[in-house]
Structure 1
Amino acid sequence: MDKIPEIIAYAKEKLQEDLTGHGFDHASRVATLATQIAKKEAVQLDEEVLIAAAYLHDTIDDKVVPDVAIALTKLQSFLKEINFSAQQQAEIIFIITNMSFSKELEAKANLSIAGQIVQDADRLEALGAMGILRTAYFGGSHQHPLHNPMIKPINFTDKKEYRKGTTVINHFYEKLLLLPDKMNTKTAYTEAVRRQKFMEAFLSEFYQEWEPENAEFF
């Protein structure tokens, strides 16, 4: 675990200025959630790989970096420099290049147990109160409309089209509310359902406030 401080420092350097909801604070929470899930599930895994993948997963993401290929090359060199084994390097890179929701629109990868747990932790961050705020933050940064009843949610099957987005509220139906059923572990599924209920209550309130003439506030 002696490499983790360097991993954290690398992630902080790459993510601290992010304004899309994928900053260092997000990476830190994913690492914490991944550690908690692994402990609860009581599985055997390489903890350094788990934590490294959690902190680094957005440092090569096309939502965050302008050139994925360059970011990936830099990350691979960094992992080698701090003496991760070739096997560890390969597992970390495979996890972070195959764990995203958009990647699964193309094909679902066979992630290791560490990868499945990091994926679960990242997806929990897209749910609940944090998920609501991050969705609004990301949508605003990309100039997506907040809500337009005339624009219906899309069942995306193509990453390029998915990246374009529709509206902030549609994103709940296009991705977020689908996540609980995509969890890999029982621990994450239980927490995902709890957060999903909170989001559904939020949406119910949102629709009342969006059309106050039809609401029963008073």
Structure 2
Amino acid sequence: MSEREPILRRTEAYVREQMSGEGTGHDWWHVDRVRRMALRLARDEAADPYVVELAALLHDVADHKFHGGDETAGPRAARAWLAQAGADADTTEHVADIIARLSFKGAGVATPMSTPEGAVVQDADRLDAIGAIGIARAFAFGGSRGRPLYDPADAPEMHDSFDSYKSSTGHTINHFHEKLLLLRDRMNTPGARRIAESRHRYMEEFLAQFDREWNAADAVPSTSQKESE
């Protein structure tokens, strides 16, 4: 057995324990979906599956959203765990660098990845933020923060800095316009771009239906209305 396999299995057990039962959409199953998608994308990008799997497993262990906005918490936690698990220094720094660069930081903020491994993990994480699961996760997170579903008077804001983005407290529908609908065009790899197309369309259809229901535009005419027509 390669020395990598025990490190991967220990890391999986550690992350599963840390994130089981989490209710904001950043739970163990999110991590597992990101891992599986990242490994799928990695095959077409000649990315190192060992680095990809470790980064995918550890990417949300100390997410800034749950650590007072501290964007250094995630890389620190990854380094600490990997040192304890016995990973080599190069792998540890590569994984920590991916985690440091991974997050969406606002509509006006570029978030380039410097390696194929980082590119596929970022794509996998972003794919899990869109489509049917992305919609469910958006409302789970919004509910955990006490945010309203929608407020027509509160327009989306295209944040031009990470600090501005992190401090946003808008309603959940704004999150679609401020982030989720932007992700299709920010995928790094051809494989992710293909998958993102259908998930993006699904979100557009959901938002159109949400708007119709919000405005009662899908209401069935009353009996009296039908008779007068």
Q: Same fold (TM over 0.5)?
A: yes
The correspondence of residues 57-68 of structure 1 with structure 2, limited to 5 A, is 57-65=59-67
Give the equivalent residue in structure 2 for 1:50.
52
| 1:19 partner amino acid | G
Change (3 A) 1:70 1:138: closer
Give the equivalent residue in structure 2 for 1:18.
22
Give the equivalent residue in structure 2 for 1:169.
173
**Unaligned stretches of 5+ in structure 2?**
222-229
The correspondence of residues 46-195 of structure 1 with structure 2, limited to 5 A, is 46-65=48-67, 72-102=75-105, 106-163=109-166, 164-195=168-199
Q: Which shifted more, 57-66 or 192-201?
A: 57-66
1:130: Cα distance to partner? 0.3
Change (3 A) 1:94 1:71: closer
| 2:117 partner amino acid | A
User: Hey, what's the Cα distance between the residues in 1 that align with 2:120 and 2:214?
Assistant: 37
Q: Which shifted more, 120-129 or 6-15?
A: 6-15
Alignment counterpart, residue 30 of structure 1, candidates 14, 34, 42: 34
Contact in 1 for aligned 2:105/2:165 (Cα 8 Å)? yes
| 1:170 partner amino acid | N
TM superposition score normalised by structure 1: 0.90
**Unaligned stretches of 5+ in structure 1?**
none
User: Hey, what's the Cα distance between the residues in 1 that align with 2:22 and 2:40?
Assistant: 25
User: Hey, what's the Cα distance between the residues in 2 that align with 1:69 and 1:108?
Assistant: 15
Contact in 2 for aligned 1:165/1:171 (Cα 8 Å)? no
Q: Report how many aligned residue pairs link the two structures.
A: 215
Q: Partner of 1:145: helix, strand, or coil?
A: coil
Instruction: Give me the identity figure in percent.
Output: 35
User: Hey, what's the Cα distance between the residues in 1 that align with 2:201 and 2:77?
Assistant: 40
- Deviation track 1:138-190 (CA, whole Å, cap 9, x = no partner) reads 01111111111111111111223222231111111100010010000010001
1:72: Cα distance to partner? 4.5
TM superposition score normalised by structure 2: 0.86
User: Hey, what's the Cα distance between the residues in 1 that align with 2:22 and 2:110?
Assistant: 28
> Which runs of structure 1 show a deviation greater than 6 angstroms over 4 or more consecutive aligned residues?
none
